[in-house]
Structure 1
Amino acid sequence: METKQLGKTGVSVSAIGLGAMPMSISSRPPEAESIEVIHRALDLGVTFIDTADSYCKDESDKHHSERLLHKALQTYKGNGVIIATKGGLMRPNGNWTRNGDPKHLEETIRISFEALGGEKPIDVWQYHAPDPNYTIEESLAPAKKAVEAGIIRFVGVSNFSVEQIKRAQDIVDVVSVQNQYNPWYRQPEFDGVLEYCEQESLTFLPWSPFGGSRRHQGLTDFPTIAKLAKEKSVSVYGIVLAWLRSKSSCILPIPGASKVSSIEDTVRAVDVKLSDDEVQRIDRETAS
């Protein structure tokens, strides 16, 4: 598996990660199947897994994904995996709402630490989304405190603008930025976030890499993507992941998976290379 450095940490991780959300939300598979997916990812060289305290069915199920990952790692020989979790979203009745209250974030960081085993610092803790009811400074104060206490190793941010990233950096060292990015939503190319990540050597983690459920199910309807997939003997998903990787060396895709076949397909994308012309053809087709 190709590797890359996580931010400026000196820590190497796999060039493609595993997104854990599908294994914990309402449509999740049986636990044994999810553990099989995680183990298969590790077998294939994946060493970066993205999760969140809110990857669950609802508030009564909070931290499900973190506990699942810990259980899977406990039953796997060999480790060296970096788990990036997040805090700051709530799941009332299965909905998604923001909560940047410092008291809540301090508590959820503690619970995430325990859910992930409680024996070593959280590898990466990311503030999931800014809450307009609190300043960036207020919401990130608990993360700074947790870093100083040895509960968090590295900090990342999610759904942040350049200005918000800069404010975060004034409080704590930031190693990663996780914003939405795919061929149909290219805002990071135009709002300066991708450029800023390159400039600051921050790892960019694109969420919703396939454009959401509607796009995900209709990727074969895009002739350029379908043709390239056939020419390169990979799936249409592999072409989209290759497109993401071609956009910047700071990008580390984290596609979700809940089936062994999905993670196997994801890993094959590491070897797919797109020319500048092929990338531009995808750009033109998906922009229309």
Structure 2
Amino acid sequence: MQLRPLGPGAPAVTAVSFGAMPLSLAGRPSEAQAVAVLHAALDAGVTLIDTANVYCEGESDIGHNERLVAQALRTWQGPREAVVVATKGGLTRPRGAWVRDGRPGAITRSCDASLRALGVERIDLYQLHALDERVPLADSVGALADLQRTGKIRWIGVSNFSVADIDEALTLCDVVTVQNRLNPFFREALDEGVLAHCRTLGIGFLAYSPVGGGRLNRTLPGHSVVAGIARTHGVSAHAVVEAWVLAQAPNVIIIPGARTVEHARDSLTADALALSPGELDAIDRAEFSRA
């Protein structure tokens, strides 16, 4: 599998990595199946797993996804030291809602809980999940810098940040990664210059929802442009779209999720799929309806 730099001072990881979120939300698979999915990704060579404390069904379930990841790594026969685990803080799940909480104390408590859930003394990559408009960016990102200084986290990442947000964060600490949405349905990371800015700075761009997420990804097999390219290469429509995302810049790392071993393996086919300039342009120009 191809490797790409995670970011300044961090190792290279697989360009196609794994987002564990679907394993813990409503409709999630059994624990055994979830671990099997994670093992399939790891066995295929994936070296980064993205999780979060709030990937769960509600407040009483906080840490579910992190515990799954910890169990999968604990029972995996491969080299644990070769895998980067990225988690996040800054959101809560009261009554199943998604609520931002960027207060420094809340972030510190979330990090401590994540350390316990993951069963580690230091988190590889800890990301601010999203900015809380009630809390100054400097306070939230400053909390991450404090966690790094005390040895609880190794690298700092941010998520759902604009170019201006990234620049402000960089005055406070070294930012290794930015995790924002990128797919043909939602191209704001391209249109607003976030991806290009990260590339200039050498910051890794973790692309979440690379096939659209939710109901949108289910429309891809019926999309005429994508389906035609998929037939040409003998791959799935999802693999085509993931390859398009990877082709946007050499610092892009995609983190597709899966609930079955088959889907996890299918995502990995994007790693070796080289779309032609004409195919990339066709996807660029195609309309992708969100309706």
TM-score normalised per structure 1? 0.97
The one-letter amino acid of 1:252's match is I
Counterpart for residue 172 of structure 1: 173
Indicate if the aligned counterparts of 2:40 and 2:264 stay in contact, CA closer than 8 A: yes
1:232-247 pair list within 5 angstroms: 232-247=233-248
Counterpart for residue 126 of structure 1: 127
Counterpart for residue 32 of structure 1: 32
227-236 vs 5-14, greater mean Cα deviation: 5-14
Counterpart for residue 119 of structure 2: 117
Indicate if the aligned counterparts of 1:155 and 1:173 stay in contact, CA closer than 8 A: yes
Structure 1 stretches of 4+ with a deviation exceeding 6 A read none
CA–CA separation in structure 2 for the residues paired with 1:210 and 1:95: 23
Indicate if the aligned counterparts of 2:10 and 2:176 stay in contact, CA closer than 8 A: no
Map Cα deviations across residues 188-223 of structure 1 (whole Å, 9 max, x no partner): 111110110110011111122111222111102211
Identity %: 41
CA–CA separation in structure 2 for the residues paired with 1:52 and 1:180: 16
Map Cα deviations across residues 137-187 of structure 1 (whole Å, 9 max, x no partner): 111222111111111000100000011011111111101111111101111
What displacement does 1:287 show?
Answer: 5.4
Counterpart for residue 70 of structure 2: 70
1:1-150 pair list within 5 angstroms: 1-78=1-78, 79=80, 80-119=82-121, 121-150=122-151
TM-score normalised per structure 2? 0.96
Matched residue SS, 1:72: helix
Matched residue SS, 1:280: helix
1:242-261 pair list within 5 angstroms: 242-261=243-262
Indicate if the aligned counterparts of 1:15 and 1:270 stay in contact, CA closer than 8 A: yes
235-244 vs 277-286, greater mean Cα deviation: 277-286
What displacement does 1:35 show?
Answer: 0.4
Map Cα deviations across residues 206-243 of structure 1 (whole Å, 9 max, x no partner): 12211122211110221110011011011000000000
Matched residue SS, 2:138: helix
Indicate if the aligned counterparts of 2:102 and 2:131 stay in contact, CA closer than 8 A: yes
Indicate if the aligned counterparts of 1:222 and 1:285 stay in contact, CA closer than 8 A: no
The one-letter amino acid of 1:42's match is L
CA–CA separation in structure 2 for the residues paired with 1:168 and 1:6: 18
Aligned length: 287
CA–CA separation in structure 1 for the residues paired with 2:213 and 2:124: 27
CA–CA separation in structure 1 for the residues paired with 2:44 and 2:211: 21
CA–CA separation in structure 2 for the residues paired with 1:155 and 1:82: 13
Map Cα deviations across residues 1-35 of structure 1 (whole Å, 9 max, x no partner): 11111112241211111110000112110000000
Matched residue SS, 2:154: strand
Matched residue SS, 1:36: helix
Matched residue SS, 2:39: helix
Please tell me the root mean square deviation across aligned C-alpha atoms, in Å: 1.1
CA–CA separation in structure 2 for the residues paired with 1:154 and 1:35: 26
55-64 vs 109-118, greater mean Cα deviation: 109-118
CA–CA separation in structure 1 for the residues paired with 2:58 and 2:149: 31
CA–CA separation in structure 2 for the residues paired with 1:28 and 1:157: 26
1:182-261 pair list within 5 angstroms: 182-261=183-262
Indicate if the aligned counterparts of 2:148 and 2:154 stay in contact, CA closer than 8 A: yes
What displacement does 1:93 show?
Answer: 1.6
Structure 1 portions without partners, runs of 5+: none
CA–CA separation in structure 1 for the residues paired with 2:10 and 2:90: 27
